[in-house]
Every structure is written in C-alpha cells, then in structure tokens.
Amino acid sequence: MISYETNLVNLIAQFGGNDGKCRHYLECLKWPGGPVCPRCGKEGVKISQRESYDCTACHYQFTVTAGSIFHDSHLPLWKWFLATYMVVESKKGMSANQLKRTLEISYKTAWYLCHRIRKAMEEANPAKLSGTVEIDETYVGGKRRHVGRGSLEGKTMVLGAIERGGDVRLRVEGSKKASKGVLHKFVAETTDPKADRLMTDEAPGYLGIADEDTTHETVNQKAEEWVRGDVHTNGIEGVWSLFKRSIVGSYHQVSAKHLDAYLDEFEWRFNQRKNPYLFRDTIARLLNSPKMEFKELIEKGA
C-alpha cells in the first residue's frame, strides 16, 4: 500500500531512480478502482512486460500518463516527483536555478518544470472569503534605483484579501491606482456578499464596500493606529512580508509578465499550509491538467 504522507527521505527511498514505482503511484491516484479506458470507460488489463493497458471492451491501448504532461516529457518520472516535492515544500519558493543544481537538469528543463508545477497549483474556482476579511494593496517589482518613497515607476500593484484563520486571495492589478472601481471590483470577486466584517486601511477607494449584512471597519495607518481592539489588518500585512521575502530570497527580480504565476504558487502554498497531502494533491493536479507546450511558455517570455 502507498503512503501518501511524504518527506524527502521517504520520497527518495520510495521513488529515487525508479520510474516503475512512480508509475504505480500515478495509477493508484488516477484509478483507485483499477484501470479505466479513457475512450469507453470500461476496465483495462495490463499488457505483460509493458506500461500499457488493453481495454477489455474496445481494445484501445492506454497508459496512466497518456494525454498528461508526464507523457511527452523526456524527463524521468522520479525527477518530476522530486521537483514537485521541492516546489511544493519550499516555503519561500524555488527558483529554476536551484532546481537545475539540485536535480542535475538543464536550466531550460528546470524553468519548464517550475512553470508546469506552478500552473498545476492554480486554484480553478476558489471559494469566496467569509467571516472577517482583511483587504489591502501593495506594490512589487521595479528597479532598485526607483525604490525611493512615493515612486511607483516600474512597480506592479497587487491586491490581497485574507479571511481570518483561512485562505488568502491575491491578484495582480494592471492599474497603478487603487481607485474605487479597482478596489470594489476586487472585493466583489473575492469575498462573499454575506461576509460579516471587512477591515481595511483608510484609503478612500474602500469607502462604500459595506452593506446591510457586512460592516466595514478601518484602521488609520498614517496616524500609526495599527490595531484597535480586533480591528486590524495584521493578517494581510503578514502575507505581504512573507511574499516580499520570498521574492527577495529566491527570485531577486520577478518580471511583471510572470508575477501572476508566482502569486498563484504563493497563494496555493499558503492556503494549503495545513494540508499533509500537498505533494500527492499537486501530483494529481499535474496528472489531470492539460498539456502546455514548451513553445507556448517560451513565447510568453522567460
């Protein structure tokens, strides 16, 4: 029987250099009730000495990785497994260069793996935040010489909302101005209309986000009034500092083009922080996520 709780030592002991065992793991995830024909849904039987199965009804031959990202890749499955583990478990994010050194693979392959694994980490349909929700905006990126106070040149605005004790939602915003339209749209997209309390700073763009069943409370950060009773935005401030440290520590400079992917990875890892089956769930997503061509990624710009 397969153990779904993972650490690096038992991951290497289980899968290191052994693609047969990786394949078995994928089969257990994809077909808990035994192999199923992707064409007609009937049962498959293993073709001896091979990775393929033969459908008992339509005789279509298939493998567990057919149609998945694992299929076309020339990379051994066990290196995929290790890369996934490292990206998922790395609290501050994993760069393509670190992956390249650790797995002894080319930079191009490492870069591809990072993007694929991040893509698999995206939340398809995230639930809306409820209860008490803190909302804030921050700016990331830009060249060092522009870092002076007040200058937003080269920077990208990121909006964030966190449910106290729950999930975070982060969004790259094209506009540099935290206008009423931008902030209200973000609140509407990320929080339940029946959320109890919304907490923000006193930026005028937030005015009017309350309604009959949702209160809006603010803290005046300019007056250094950071906390008033339980009215504060410490949760989202903590997320910003974690996110900024992860950029400085691992990526140095995140290009605006790829900021979305980094945010998705960060958001997913943060929201899964109490999930002991993180590795398994990411592998399952990779197995089920559609293929993305290497060319397509390169065209987006490295």
Q: Is 13 in the site for Zn ion (CB under 5 A)?
A: no
11, 22, 26, 37: which one contacts Zn ion (CB under 5 A)? 37
CB–CB of 99/83 below 8 Å? yes
CA dihedral over 256, 261, 267, 269, signed as positive or negative: negative
Size of the site for Zn ion (CB under 5 A): 8
Options 11, 26, 55, 178; binder of Zn ion; rule CB under 5 A? 55
Nearer to Zn ion, 4 or 60 (CB): 60
Binding mask 239-268 for Zn ion (x = CB under 5 A): ------------------------------
Of 173, 167, 153, 140, nearest in space to 241 by CA: 140
| Residue 161 contacts residue 186 (beta carbons within 8 Å) | yes
Q: Which of 2, 8, 13, 40 binds Zn ion (CB under 5 A)?
A: 40
In order of 54, 128, 217, 247, the CA distances from 213 in angstroms are 58, 16, 13, 38
Among the residue ranges 51-59, 92-100, 138-146, 267-275, the one whose residues contact Zn ion (CB under 5 A): 51-59
Question: Contact at 8 Å (CB) between 25 and 78?
Answer: no
Site map 57..96 versus Zn ion, x via CB under 5 A: xx-x------------------------------------
Binding mask 186-225 for Zn ion (x = CB under 5 A): ----------------------------------------
The tokens of 278 are what?
């993180």
Question: Which residues make Cβ contacts (< 8 Å) with residue 150, sequence separation at least 6?
Answer: none
CB of 69 to Zn ion, least distance (A): 23
